[in-house]
Chains A and B, each alone.
Chain A
Amino acid sequence: MAIDHQTSVLPPKLRIDGLAKRYGNFTALEPTQLEVHSGEFLTLLGPSGSGKTTLLQLVCGLVDASEGSIFIDGIEQSNVPVHRRDIGLVFQHYALFPHLTVSENIGFPLKMRGVPDSQIKTRVNTALEMVHLGSLANRFPKELSGGQQQRVALARCFVYQPSIILMDEPLGALDKKLRDQMQIEIKRLHRESGATIIYVTHDQEEALALSDRICLMNHARIEQIGTPREIYMNPCSAFAADFIGISNILRGSIQIDQNRNSWLVTSYGRFLLPAGVSKEMVSGAVVVRPEHLTFDATSPNTLRATVRDLVYAGSETRVIATLDDGQDVIVRQPPDIEVPGRGSSITLGWQAERAVVIP
């Protein structure tokens, strides 16, 4: 609790103010505001080219900003060279030094900081234990598997306790199973070290699994920022709705009736919108998550469709149905529920307050 108390008094761990990067006419990052709190796990999520790696490189100083400033613990960093910023970066392809052994790799940042040899030894050993690699201390990186190399890269970063740890798609080169394992590992390291971590990924599942907050990026700017739950439940745009989780998006114009209820008028019918839709909106779309669609024809909002495909995924069954104009909608049902067969006509329904309205 003491820590919570402190964070309210101290400046945020990282504050980014109007930071932007341009290469000639190409904008890699629009002017951006962002705050990251001490001990937080923030994910920069977005497709490739969305500016997340640029933002990361700006923070660690590998790239100079075109404008704006970066504050770590309230101190401006523009004139601090890479090697004096107190930042750790875990590279996508690990960037382990091939000519140094595992323990020399991990000891490297300590050596650069002038830590005495005796201390280096104990701290390296602690770091090795932390990632369960004690037995491989004298191996060279090329003698390790991908997962082991990734652990070394993590240990090399955690060993000197930088104030912020940046991770650039660190699990991108690993296969699915190893990735799941390493996610748990990274979560544990975060919990045990209390480090502030900024994590870049284009994998939404990874972002949902790891983050305290997700910073969703698109077209060189921040699209939406919030906890995974907030973004999933309340996407602010079609992009956000589509990128995180699966969404059914129906577009149309918005009308308000005499009862002050908002309706979305589409070619598939008229749908009641949840309360609180801005009066200025004349057109928009409604987002309905697959798990909120039911085969209940008595719902206030219904949709006629034809079942095109059934996907059995163990814990759930996905029904892919086609609307009259060829658009697909996806329905998620628990595995024990009987679903209509392929080719059958169905009526889908949802509760108005389950849907989200986006521009």
Chain B
Amino acid sequence: MTAQAIKRVFVNPLWLAIPGILFLLVFFVYPVCSLLLLSVTDPDTGQWAVKSYTRILNTDVYLRVLGITFRIAAQTACLSLIIAYPLAYWVASLPERVRNKALLLIIIPFWTSYLVKTFAWMIMLGRMGVINSILIGAELVKEPLPLLHNEFGVLVGMVHTMVPLAVMTMLPVMTSIDRRLISAAQTLGASPSKAFWLVYFKLSLPGVTAGGLLVFISSLGFFIVPAFLGGRQQTMLAQLIITQVSELLNWSFAGALSVMMLVTTLTAVFFYDLIFGISSIAGKEGSESSHSKIRIFGLQILEFISTAANILSQLSRVILGGYVTERLLAVFAWLIIGFLIMPTLLVIPIGFTKSEFLEFPPPGYSLRWFETYFNSALWLTATSRSFIVAFLAACLATAFGAGTALALAKSSSRWAGFIFGFFLAPMIVPRIVIAVGMFYLFARIGLVASNAGLVIGHTVLSLPFTVVTIGAILKTYDMRLDQAASTLGANRVRTLIHITLPVIKGGLIAAFLFAFITSFDELTVAIFISGGLATTLPKQMWDDMILQLNPTLAAVSTVVLIVVTLLLLIAERFRKNTIS
């Protein structure tokens, strides 16, 4: 190697990504791979065996669960898209200053703990829940409607959690669409609904497909919602894996089920890419050929839809009048925002109830359940453990994330795209697969039921968030500042310390807080890694929810809700200030 070549290797900015890469290799890639290996190993003899897979194939309950998982995920994805699209469209069409405020109404439910959201729906949908009480009170029904422990309950819960994700994925695509194209279409003779379908909708499709895919693969790994809102008929794959590991300790079989889940996810991604092209997720436009049959066919379908929509909108104008028709979208959007926020807000008054039961409205108010919470050593140690673990995990994830984001921003290497994808992988691979793999690894090196184990696990899961957040800030960072600093005599390290880091400080804080929240209400890893006395707040909530619903849970949920929302608002402020 020539001196120059050596120099080039050493000053390559990709070095900054090395710590993060090593961390992920050891605590993400290795555990997941060894879990996959485990699935083809005989648990008794240690030989190669496909016993677990034959068992899956020969027991139709597993295939049925796979089918249910697939069906519920697909239904969730479709419903979420249908609900999220008009909402995202409405938010995107708001003037920029109002848009950021409206966006908070979607970001807050996005980050609200799954457990709190699910708990809220249990209160809403139960036999004596809020909805049934209202319906019976208004004498609309005589018997309580069966809303919980069935497919309806699961879908409500799943869609409620996934709509914010769908909106957040579609929004960047929508806001980047040049609104003048709509004006152009109209001056060229297209009616408003034709202009929308033929131009805007077509251009927003990459966002729709990306949103659909993300919702679908996230739904595949769900277990909280089906466990509490569904019945036996809605058992999903992740629930089976949890049972195999924590109750039956059947590693090999849990591994095989995990492989099934991973393969399902990857297959979904593959077919999605084949049909829609996910390159759009990465923001790259697909290179369509102008004569491609699929393209022409797609345009014809849109043509058809637009004609139908045109008739529909004219009908609506005749029936409802122009005034109402023009406001339908805003009304719909506010209804959805209400659907996203109201159930969780309902938890707060119940936390202050004086009753023994989860009644709504509470018969009277008291602080007794908060007293129970603050006087219980179990809850308090769980809470403080969650704070400590979240703080440490956020520190680690921010450090690794900053290094990686800096490396990617400064590097023009062809590896950069690959490395970025690698860091996003913990978001794509189902959490349950990561968690089981980690459990298996930690069990052998004595990290189970330890804070260190939790911190490592949560760092892996929050890394994608920090890389994305810091990366987005660095995109707005003017790299010429670094060049200016070096012409003024600063070396690389001093440039980093005195120029780059202070300028992107807000982004680092935002990333830290996002990582903190991710860890603070993380349950999947905690279910396995935090055992016995070393439990975290979400794990303690999960245990309580399985055992017995009680108003203490509402009090705890209130605390979690407030902590997470506050941190989130602070994070958003830092993120925005840095960008502007």
Which A residues fall within an 8 A CB radius of B?
A: 60, 62, 81-85, 87-89, 91, 93, 95, 97-101, 104, 108-109, 112-113, 138-140, 142, 156, 160
Contact = CB atoms under 8 A, between A and B. Distances in A.
Nearest to B202: A99
A84 B194 CA distance: 13
B6 to A, nearest CB: 41
A34 to B, nearest CB: 20
Given A91-B180, A112-B194, A62 B187 contact: yes
Contacts of A139: 290
B189 A89 contact: no
B184 A95 contact: yes
B290 A108 contact: no
A138 B290 contact: yes
Contact of B183 (A62, A85, A97, A108): A62
Interface residues of B, number: 23
Nearest to A82: B186
Given A62-B183, A140-B290, A83 B189 contact: yes
B290 A109 contact: no
Contacts of A91: 180, 183-184
List 3 A-B pairs, minimum CB-CB distance, nearest first.
A112-B189, A95-B184, A109-B188
Contact of B187 (A88, A104, A113, A138): A88
Nearest to B180: A95
Interface string B175-188: 00010110111111
Contacts of B16: none
A60 B184 CA distance: 11
B185 A60 contact: no
A95 B181 contact: yes
Contacts of B190: 83, 108, 112
Contacts of B424: none
B188 A101 contact: no
B325 to A, nearest CB: 14
A273 B199 CA distance: 61
Contacts of A60: 187
Given A95-B178, A95-B180, A89 B187 contact: yes
Secondary structure call for the B interface: helix
Contacts of B178: 93, 95
Given A95-B183, A95-B184, A113 B189 contact: yes
Given A95-B178, A95-B181, A97-B181, A87 B291 contact: no
A313 B183 CA distance: 43
A91 B178 CA distance: 12
B183 A83 contact: no
B203 A83 contact: no
Given A83-B192, A109-B189, A99 B203 contact: yes
Given A82-B186, A95-B180, 4 more contacts: A95-B184, A98-B203, A108-B190, A109-B189
B390 to A, nearest CB: 43
Contacts of A85: 187
B486 interface: no
A85 B186 CA distance: 9
B366 interface: no
9 contacts: A62-B186, A83-B187, A83-B194, A88-B187, A95-B183, A99-B202, A112-B190, A139-B290, A140-B288
B413 interface: no
Nearest to A114: B189
Interface string B521-535: 000000000000000
B34 interface: no
Most buried by A among B178, B195, B291: B178
Contacts of A87: 187
A81 B185 CA distance: 13
Contacts of A104: 299
Nearest to A108: B188
B187 A156 contact: no
B191 interface: yes
Contact of B189 (A98, A99, A160): A160
Nearest to A100: B299
Given A95-B178, A98-B203, A99-B203, A112 B188 contact: yes
Interface string B510-544: 00000000000000000000000000000000000
A245 to B, nearest CB: 33
B184 A89 contact: yes
A82 B186 CA distance: 6
- Among B187, B191, B285, chain A packs the most CB atoms within 10 A around the CB of B187
A144 B103 CA distance: 36
A215 B180 CA distance: 25
Contacts of B199: 97, 99
Given A83-B186, A108-B185, A101 B290 contact: yes
Contacts of B203: 98-99
B50 to A, nearest CB: 47
A87 B203 CA distance: 25
B340 to A, nearest CB: 31
Contacts of A62: 183, 186-187
Contacts of B187: 60, 62, 82-83, 85, 87-89
Contacts of A112: 185, 188-190, 194
Contacts of A140: 288, 290
A139 B190 CA distance: 23
A156 B202 contact: no
Nearest to B186: A82
Interface string B294-323: 000001000000000000000000000000
A81 B326 CA distance: 14
B207 to A, nearest CB: 14
Nearest to A93: B180
A46 to B, nearest CB: 21
Given A62-B183, A99-B202, A138 B291 contact: yes
Contacts of A95: 178, 180-181, 183-184
A112 B195 CA distance: 10
Nearest to A57: B183
A280 B331 CA distance: 62
Contacts of B195: 83
A97 B295 CA distance: 14
B460 to A, nearest CB: 39
A165 to B, nearest CB: 10
